[in-house]
Structure 1
Amino acid sequence: MTSDREPLLSARDLHVEFPGRRGGRPARAVDGVNLDVHEGEIVALVGESGCGKTTLARTLLGLQQPTSGEVAYRGTPLNYSGKALKAYRREAQLVLQDPSGSLNPRHTVYEAVAEGLRIHGEAVNEPERVADALSRAGLRPPERFFLRYPHELSGGQRQRVVIAGALVLDPAVIIADEPVASLDASVRGEILSLLLGLRDDLGLAALVVTHDLGLAWNIADRVAVMYLGRIVETGPVEKILTAPEHPYTQALLSVLPEGGAPVVLTGEPPDPTRIPGGCRFHVRCQVLASGEAGAMGLSTQCRGQDVAVLAGGTSSQVACHVALQRREQESAVRSGEGGVVQH
């Protein structure tokens, strides 16, 4: 994957604000986001609850209109008129966390999967297309599931039905919001393997929203880490999860089994109505609290100077004064070493 290819789905300078309660401050749920998803790529969008990732996902799907900024599909800005939006939602499908809540208990599996075809007026070859979608979702033989109801299925089977309902329209990208969070550990691996297989076999792209960096390690090509409405670190999964640069990413990784000593974050959890000045993570930052940022002469910057919004694309990027200074220092060292070699 290269950054010069046009992304399949992209956000540019995206903002989403919600009015404050009883005249209070507005909540800046998405606060300047640039994000790309390319064909045949799985991107994991990672962060704590309340960081804005679900709002971002809904906005990318056209379920939430942005306050400002742009969502584009295949380079064309999203049109929020009824007909254009309906056509787009055929190409971009949603998979929710709770399959029980996604399925009508009074509808059979066949009706649940066929619903998308009927909404979009595509009744031709309906039984064959429903059977094909169920097969691709791993429910075989598909006819055995046609007349079953959700309560007759296991949790993993229900999630496969939800995925089949997305696949029946042959989308180019799916957005999956915590797709395995409600499943038993033994079933999670099966669903993740299914998503990987769909990428490899169909070229299907996916944005997987999760709080679990372990899941990202198992499924993603790239990771975007979100904090308080912004992407604070992004890059290839191997880079982000083996050599994270942002203190927030490091804290998230520290709770994994092989993540070392857990990082205890100071301060209060994120509040999108009270975004602090300076780096928005500084009030909880373990690097600032330890004095390390001060030793680098960056305390004032961390507390008072905002970090530039990440540009999007596929390269490794980080929004942290300390990490950026380290990059500059490492680049200077490499340049110096190169000079010595040349001489």
Structure 2
Amino acid sequence: MSDAVRSDTADRGGAVGAKAPAAPLLSARGLHVTFPGRRGAAPARAVDGVDLDIGTGEIVALVGESGCGKTTLARSLLGLVRPTAGTVSFDGSPLAYTSGALKSYRKRAQLVLQDPSGSLNPRHTVYDAVAEGLRIHGYAGDERAAVAGALARAGLRPPERFLLRYPHELSGGQRQRVVIAGALVLEPELIVADEPVASLDASVRGEILALLLRLRDELGLSALVVTHDLGLAWNIADRVAVMYLGRVVETGTVESVLTRPRHPYTRALLSVLPESTTPPVVLTGEPPDPSRIPSGCRFHARCQVLASGRAAAVAHRCREEPLAVLGGGEARAVACHWARDETPE
């Protein structure tokens, strides 16, 4: 990671090195989500024993390649996918799965989707798009004032300029701000943003990330940001959880994980960033398949450290001994036999 990138991160308001609160706002313990196999195939263990905490006013980045289970995990944390096993707690209370309890919960925890064009009804004005949540929850206050306030907080000022416009009349960044305003209008305590800037130009990405940081600072808003981009995590997150094949394999503050990565998978992800000073790591072996999880460490078949012979002393453990699930409250943890034995902090 370059010095310039580190400086940019340090200037954004002190998120780097921030400590998670002792009492998390959102907590998952032993979370499993298994989908039935198709046409006789084995069940797919999309989320396979995950512990994760998000503190009040904290931004956590959930990072991993496509197919690792991060979107399924995010949706299960919101109650959109019911876990096969495990628990999700919000503000100290276990999540209940009755329609009334979920409706109440989703007022406090909102989802921001990746593609704003797909999230917005092309026949609805900006006003109707933002007001939809208020109407679903039977808001009794001044609807127009609430919509205008949410648009202003999302950076669409003056809000009156946008109320009667349609999605096709907006830029990509403006559409994403409308989606964020639709979440903010309910005054949630947590947002889950699934690849929130993946479809945007580089200049607009920076604006949306700055907006999320400002909302964290001004409103005390917590966020889980789902992304495949560790560079994005560096610029926005307080903590990082790296996910591979249904499990979190490394977690810690953004500075500790991204400047001192310990898991070979995290190192491989970092090596392909433009700012990286190490040669790119090309992962060998087949891509992850949640219906065929290997024995031992689930990354061992693609592990560059094991393939190089540097992990010879623990190779048998890598191939045969499963690793314990990382605890959600651990400040710094890695699920890797080699990293635990050879590169202790």
* Paired residues of 2:29 and 2:51 also in contact (CA < 8 A): yes
Q: Residue 276 of structure 1 aligns with which residue?
A: 294
Q: Residue 246 of structure 1 aligns with which residue?
A: 263
> 1:3 Cα shift?
5.7
Q: Residue 23 of structure 1 aligns with which residue?
A: 40
- Superposition TM-score, scaled by structure 1 size: 0.94
Q: Where does 1:1-343 land on structure 2 (aligned, <5 Å)? A: 2=19, 5-259=22-276, 260-294=278-312, 297-327=313-343
Deviations, residues 238-270 of structure 1 (Å, cap 9, x unaligned): 000000000000000000112220001110010
> 1:4 Cα shift?
6.5
* Paired residues of 1:3 and 1:314 also in contact (CA < 8 A): no
Which residue identity lines up with residue 39 of structure 1 in the other structure?
T
SS at match of 1:31: strand
Deviations, residues 60-116 of structure 1 (Å, cap 9, x unaligned): 000000000001101111000010110000000000000000000000000000000
> 1:327 Cα shift?
4.9
Which residue identity lines up with residue 279 of structure 2 in the other structure?
A
Which residue identity lines up with residue 285 of structure 2 in the other structure?
G
SS at match of 2:186: coil
Provide runs of 4+ in structure 1 moved above 3 Å.
Answer: 1-4
SS at match of 1:215: helix
Deviations, residues 19-62 of structure 1 (Å, cap 9, x unaligned): 00012100000000000000000000000000000000000000
* Paired residues of 2:112 and 2:192 also in contact (CA < 8 A): yes
Q: Whole-Å Cα distance in 1 between the matches of residues 136 and 275 of structure 2?
A: 47
Q: Structure 1, unaligned stretches of length 5 or more?
A: 331-343
- Superposition TM-score, scaled by structure 2 size: 0.93
Which residue identity lines up with residue 112 of structure 1 in the other structure?
A
Which residue identity lines up with residue 14 of structure 1 in the other structure?
L
> 1:6 Cα shift?
1.4
Q: Structure 2, unaligned stretches of length 5 or more?
A: 1-17
Q: Whole-Å Cα distance in 2 between the matches of residues 4 and 242 of structure 1?
A: 22
* Paired residues of 2:151 and 2:181 also in contact (CA < 8 A): yes
Which residue identity lines up with residue 274 of structure 1 in the other structure?
R
Q: Whole-Å Cα distance in 1 between the matches of residues 19 and 122 of structure 2?
A: 44
Q: Whole-Å Cα distance in 1 between the matches of residues 21 and 58 of structure 2?
A: 15
* CA 93–245 in structure 1, closer or farther in 2 if over 3 Å, else same: same
Larger Rg: 1
SS at match of 2:206: helix
SS at match of 1:129: helix
Q: Whole-Å Cα distance in 2 between the matches of residues 325 and 302 of structure 1?
A: 12
Q: Whole-Å Cα distance in 2 between the matches of residues 206 and 13 of structure 1?
A: 21
* Paired residues of 1:36 and 1:314 also in contact (CA < 8 A): no
* Paired residues of 2:300 and 2:318 also in contact (CA < 8 A): yes
* CA 134–23 in structure 1, closer or farther in 2 if over 3 Å, else same: same
Which residue identity lines up with residue 30 of structure 2 in the other structure?
D
Q: Residue 7 of structure 2 aligns with which residue?
A: none
